[in-house]
């Protein structure tokens, strides 16, 4: 395992290479890389690039590098990036941290006063954001400021600080290089949030009773939670209190449940009787002499998000009294170490009472395994020199790419076949599918939303109807879109009209791609993504056409910003935006038709892929059986080490393969099933030779 210093140097090298490829400043690339990585672990949202640096009122320095607005709980996050890129790892002190926080606070305050709008050009990245902060100040519930640093935090100050701004809670965080390192290695502890019951709600304590049974490493309690306390802690911390599974079941919408609203309006005293209650966890609690809970540390709502958000909405937004509202609560208190083991299961089992079909969960799991299988077995064209074969890596689980070399049967060849530049995780996989399906408005909503919608709704439905749709061509065309996206993304900043507007660089990439796909569909054509897969690059004709559409889209966004006062990064999330973009005129180059196919050609290629796939599986297995005893030894060892012990019958079959004994077609099929089981659980097929 690499140490922190090695990890940092590798990260900086990767960031510099990506920045060069993407025509981006290293600081902005570092921000993008780190926040994308941490968002997977629910440590922070993904930063929308937005560089703004000025001297503001009272000669204060103003500086931000990015932001994120969370529609779920109306939280606004600002990011300041402290990136040195030096080989020597420095320390970031509390003084430096506070300076960065003050730079971001100055941006918020000068946005609220209108000073930034008055002193900036409308084309500046910060102008639209400042305007939106001023117009939405009553809607914004809380602010977060994240300082992202490639230095190591001094041990003399915490990562967490709370303030107030414009009467709203302001939470400030330092996410240093060590924090990022621990998060990726899954060593980080939960972000510490301590809730003092009386301070936040005026309630002396929350009555509870012990409900633990037997000797366990955790404690269980039953309680009755006052609705006022629930609403006030949600007002203070928002979705930080909600487990990520809860947010996904809520569909990322902060809507009020109609039944809950009716009960609060008409019979709030019956809320306890009607509601199923909430399930919570905490890493510790404090109780007074009467047994009442006076403090929670790291309180998480793992079931009951809809109840929480609904009560809050009726109290805060609709001004309804919730004094008579009480909610049943089940609480599990476990140490951070124990919580890592049991909290995911508590969340999973608690949420099974919701309308989530088992088939939805199974299809997602099976789909992920299938994509991983294609990733491990689909070589890049013209790269079939056995040991030197190159492949695209599909990351099915968090940090899998980094841990696989230590777990697979052949670490050396793994590193030869896979490269970080040819890696895609399951969240981004959904993004590229939505670009293909011409839904850029969903892409703009962010990773968590498009992941949940695509896999938990659309894949589940399609899987039930026709799972053969997800064949190797589906995998290849998705990778082709990754290739196309990266080419366009690196091409956009080279254009003079781009003018350094990093905050809309991503929409200027995925919207125009979908636009050209739409233009082709109006001519009964599809972009030939398999051709891009075969060549591992898109032709210049295709790139020129998309970049031409990007210029039209950029002009459209300028109009929306200047004439209608829209914040571009919020407007692109609206279906109305995509409806208007579809109608925009783009000079269409008929030469791109040479890089397209008809619907019939597309369907034919899919059927052909299914046939070839079956033949390849049989032929590959026969080749493995008759040519490589070492392969079977490695497979047997992998099973013992990572999954399970082979049965006696399975051991006999593998032994026959190792000894090159004659095998029947039935026995070959049994071995094939064994191999597929291994591959679906992470066994990497490096080579048969």
The answer on 179 and 227 residing in a single domain is no
The answer on 369 and 350 residing in a single domain is no
> Per-residue pLDDT for 82 more than 80?
yes
- Render pLDDT for 579-629 as a digit per residue (tens, 0 to 9): 999 999 999 999 999 999 998 888 887 666 655 555 445 455 455 555 567
Measured CA distances, 35 to 68, 344, 371, 504, 680 (Å): 11, 23, 25, 17, 29
- Render pLDDT for 299-344 as a digit per residue (tens, 0 to 9): 988 888 888 888 988 888 778 889 999 999 999 998 877 766 666 6
Residues 283-311, mean pLDDT to the nearest whole number: 90
The answer on 351 and 367 residing in a single domain is no
Is 392 domain-assigned?
yes
Is 686 domain-assigned?
no
* The pLDDT value given to residue 384: 45
Domain boundary among 538, 568, 597: 597
Q: Pick the closest to residue 470 from 424, 441, 429 (CA basis).
A: 429
The confidence band for 363, taking pLDDT boundaries of 50, 70 and 90, is very low
Domain boundary among 123, 157, 188: 188
Produce one character per residue of 644-676: b if its CB has 16 or more CB atoms within 10 Å, e if not: eebeeebeebbebbbeeeebeeebbeebbebbe
Is 673 domain-assigned?
yes
> Per-residue pLDDT for 78 more than 70?
yes
* The pLDDT value given to residue 247: 52
Is 567 domain-assigned?
yes
pTM (predicted TM-score): 0.70
* The pLDDT value given to residue 387: 40
> Per-residue pLDDT for 20 more than 80?
yes
Residues 437-451, mean pLDDT to the nearest whole number: 90
- Render pLDDT for 220-265 as a digit per residue (tens, 0 to 9): 999 999 999 999 998 888 877 876 555 544 544 444 567 888 899 8
Q: Which has the higher per-residue pLDDT, 397 or 292?
A: 292
* The pLDDT value given to residue 407: 54
Is 481 domain-assigned?
yes
The confidence band for 362, taking pLDDT boundaries of 50, 70 and 90, is very low
Residues 115-134, mean pLDDT to the nearest whole number: 88
The answer on 343 and 371 residing in a single domain is no
* The pLDDT value given to residue 354: 47
Distance CA 61, CA 47 (A): 21
The count of structural domains within the chain is 4
Q: Which two tokens stand for residue 261?
A: 């609203």
* The pLDDT value given to residue 323: 92
- Structural domain span for residue 72: 4-188
Domain boundary among 330, 355, 380: 355
The answer on 369 and 323 residing in a single domain is no
* The pLDDT value given to residue 344: 62
Distance CA 327, CA 332 (A): 16
Average pLDDT, rounded, for the chain: 84
Q: Which residues contact 344 (CB under 8 A, 6 or more apart)?
A: none
- Render pLDDT for 647-670 as a digit per residue (tens, 0 to 9): 888 888 888 888 777 677 677 778
The answer on 253 and 202 residing in a single domain is yes
Is 661 domain-assigned?
yes
* The pLDDT value given to residue 254: 47
The answer on 75 and 108 residing in a single domain is yes
DSSP E strands, 563-620: 596-597
- Render pLDDT for 532-580 as a digit per residue (tens, 0 to 9): 999 999 999 999 999 999 999 999 998 988 778 788 888 999 999 999 9
Instruction: Write the DSSP symbol of residue 644.
Output: -
The residue written with tokens 């019958």 in the block is 649
The confidence band for 413, taking pLDDT boundaries of 50, 70 and 90, is confident
The answer on 282 and 311 residing in a single domain is yes
Is 523 domain-assigned?
yes
Is 505 domain-assigned?
yes
> Per-residue pLDDT for 85 more than 80?
yes
* The pLDDT value given to residue 625: 53
> Per-residue pLDDT for 145 more than 80?
yes
The answer on 318 and 256 residing in a single domain is yes
> Per-residue pLDDT for 218 more than 80?
yes
* The pLDDT value given to residue 30: 96
Q: Which has the higher per-residue pLDDT, 62 or 619?
A: 62
The answer on 422 and 310 residing in a single domain is no
The answer on 235 and 333 residing in a single domain is yes
Q: Which two tokens stand for residue 652?
A: 């006999």
The answer on 569 and 515 residing in a single domain is yes
Q: Which residues contact 443 (CB under 8 A, 6 or more apart)?
A: 431, 434, 435, 450, 510
Residues 155-169, mean pLDDT to the nearest whole number: 81
């Amino acid at each position: 395992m690499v140490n922190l210093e090695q990890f940092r140097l590798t990260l900086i090298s990767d960031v510099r290479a990506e920045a060069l490829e993407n025509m981006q400043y290293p600081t902005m690339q570092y921000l993008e890389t780190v926040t994308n990585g941490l968002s997977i672990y629910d440590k922070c949202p993904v930063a929308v690039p937005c560089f703004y640096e000025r001297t503001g009122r009272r000669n204060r320095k103003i500086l931000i590098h990015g932001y994120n607005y969370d529609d779920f709980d109306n939280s606004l996050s600002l990011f300041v990036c402290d990136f040195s890129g030096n080989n020597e790892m420095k320390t970031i002190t509390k003084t430096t941290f506070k300076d960065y926080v003050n730079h971001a606070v100055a941006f918020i305050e000068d946005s609220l006063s209108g000073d930034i709008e008055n002193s900036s050009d409308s084309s500046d990245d910060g102008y639209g954001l400042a305007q939106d902060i001023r117009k939405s100040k009553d809607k914004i519930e809380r602010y977060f400021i994240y300082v992202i640093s490639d230095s190591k935090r001094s041990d003399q100050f915490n990562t967490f600080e709370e303030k107030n701004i414009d009467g709203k809670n302001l939470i400030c965080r330092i996410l240093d290089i060590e924090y990022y390192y621990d998060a990726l290695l899954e060593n980080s502890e939960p972000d510490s949030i301590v809730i003092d019951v009386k301070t936040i709600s005026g309630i002396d304590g929350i009555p509870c009773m012990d409900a633990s049974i037997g000797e366990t490493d955790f404690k269980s309690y039953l309680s009755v939670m006052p609705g006022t306390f629930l609403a006030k802690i949600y007002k203070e911390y928002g979705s930080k209190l909600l487990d990520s599974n809860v947010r996904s079941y809520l569909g990322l919408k902060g809507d009020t449940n109609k039944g809950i609203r009716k009960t609060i309006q008409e019979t709030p005293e019956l809320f306890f009787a009607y509601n199923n209650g909430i399930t919570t966890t905490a890493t510790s609690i404090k109780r007074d002499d009467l047994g009442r809970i006076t403090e929670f540390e790291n309180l998480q709502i793992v079931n009951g998000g809809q109840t929480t958000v609904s009560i809050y909405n009726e109290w805060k937004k609709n001004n309804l009294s919730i004094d008579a509202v009480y909610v049943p609560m089940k609480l599990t208190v476990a140490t951070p170490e124990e919580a890592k083991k049991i909290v995911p299961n508590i969340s999973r089992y608690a949420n099974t009472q919701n309308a989530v079909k088992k088939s939805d969960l199974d299809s997602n799991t099976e789909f992920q395994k299938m994509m991983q299988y294609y990733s491990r077995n689909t070589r890049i064209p013209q790269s079939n020199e056995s040991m030197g074969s190159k492949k695209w890596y599909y990351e099915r689980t968090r940090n899998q790419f980094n841990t696989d070399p230590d777990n697979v049967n052949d670490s050396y060849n793994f590193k030869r076949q896979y490269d970080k530049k040819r890696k895609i995780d399951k969240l981004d996989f959904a993004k590229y599918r939505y670009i293909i399906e011409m839904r850029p408005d969903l892409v703009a909503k962010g990773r968590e939303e498009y992941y949940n919608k695509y896999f938990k709704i659309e894949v589940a439905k399609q899987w039930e109807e026709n799972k053969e749709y997800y064949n190797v061509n589906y995998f290849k065309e998705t990778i082709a879109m990754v290739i196309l996206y990266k080419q366009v993304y690196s091409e956009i900043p080279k254009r003079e009209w781009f003018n350094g507007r990093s905050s809309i660089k991503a929409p200027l990439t995925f919207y125009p791609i979908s636009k050209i796909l739409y233009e082709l569909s109006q001519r009964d054509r599809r972009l030939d993504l398999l051709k891009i897969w075969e060549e591992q690059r898109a032709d210049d004709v295709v790139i020129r056409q998309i970049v031409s559409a990007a210029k039209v889209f950029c002009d459209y966004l300028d109009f929306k910003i200047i004439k209608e006062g829209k914040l571009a990064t919020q407007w692109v999330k609206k279906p109305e935006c995509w409806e208007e973009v579809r109608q925009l005129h783009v000079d269409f180059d008929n030469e791109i038709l040479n890089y397209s196919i008809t619907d019939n050609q597309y369907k034919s290629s899919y059927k052909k892929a299914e046939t070839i796939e079956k033949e390849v599986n049989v032929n590959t297995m026969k080749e493995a059986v008759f040519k490589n005893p070492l392969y079977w030894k490695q497979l047997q060892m992998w099973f013992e080490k990572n999954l399970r012990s082979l049965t006696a019958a399975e051991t006999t079959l593998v032994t026959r393969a190792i000894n090159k004994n004659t095998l029947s077609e039935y026995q070959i099929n049994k071995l094939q099933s064994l191999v597929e089981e291994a591959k679906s659980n992470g066994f990497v097929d490096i080579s048969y030779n």
